Amino acid sequence: MTTKKSTRKTKTADKKKRSPAKKAPARRPRTTTTKIEDVKELLEQAVAEEEMVLEVPGIRAVTLYGDLDEKRGSQIVSELFTYHEMMTIIDQKLKSLDAKTRKKMSENIAHKDPIKFLISTFGGSAVDMFGIYDAMTMLKDAGVELHTIGSGKVMSAGVLLLASGSKGHRLIGKNCRVMVHSVIGGAHGSSHDIQNEVEEILQTQQQYLDCLAKETKMSVSRLNKLISEKRNVYLSAEEAIKLGIADKII
């Protein structure tokens, strides 16, 4: 036992005599954020250190599971617009840098990855559907690639949202069920009140068909004929692709 203790002391003494090895500078970890106020600060750090990779992962995966109501609709629109604002801030900063730094930063900042919009819904509010549709259109016009993915059930309002993804990137599950129907509404009160509500329902339906025709292979007249034959028109994934609602099965 004495010998072992003596050996340990000798080894310890040898270690102390050796000069400590220099550690390689630690690479800054990937930083993620979904807050606008964080983006500007992180960009300044990224420019100064030229090490940071900035990501906004939560915003790039938007989901609609269940019914579409005002609360969920406003959340989705907020997420889409937040992503767009972040992208604008980053682009403006990159433009202010010299060419060499801009090139390096562009390679490191993952801010232009496509948005993935996962949809599984029975439908819901037409007003909130149009709000999301407008936000999606704005992003596509700004050059953002928007992937839509239909899973399980894509019905009513969800059909337009699935069809509104970037062409070639509208995906659908093999066993997903798609359902298209006319706008549903109701009215009560005086005859003038009922007439007013009926006019609004018809206007909403025309707006829905116009938007759906724009995003698919179907004309407004064909859509009108389709939903007039049956109250609810159910489609398989393959049929949805033929009608231009989706592009390919996953």
Residue 181 known to be catalytic: yes
Residue 156 known to be catalytic: yes
Catalytic residue among 120, 151, 156, 182: 156
Q: What is the pLDDT of residue 135?
A: 93
Give dist(CA 8, CA 12) in Å, integer: 6
The CATH classification number of 29-249 equals 3.90.226.10
Question: What is the pTM (predicted TM-score) of this model?
Answer: 0.73
Q: Where are the domains of the chain?
A: 29-249
Q: What is the pLDDT of residue 15?
A: 46
Q: What is the pLDDT of residue 239?
A: 96
* Buried b / exposed e along 56-93 (16+ C-beta atoms within 10 A): beebbebbbeeebeeebbeebbebbebbbebbeebeeb
Q: Identify the segments of the chain with pLDDT beneath 50.
A: 1-17, 22-33, 51-53, 56-59
Q: What is the pLDDT of residue 241?
A: 97
pLDDT digits (tens, 9 = 90+) for 163-183: 999 999 999 999 999 999 987
Catalytic residue among 181, 192, 219, 221: 181
Q: What is the pLDDT of residue 112?
A: 62
Helix (H, G, I), strand (E, B) or coil at 22: coil
Is the Cβ–Cβ distance between 133 and 160 less than 8 Å? yes
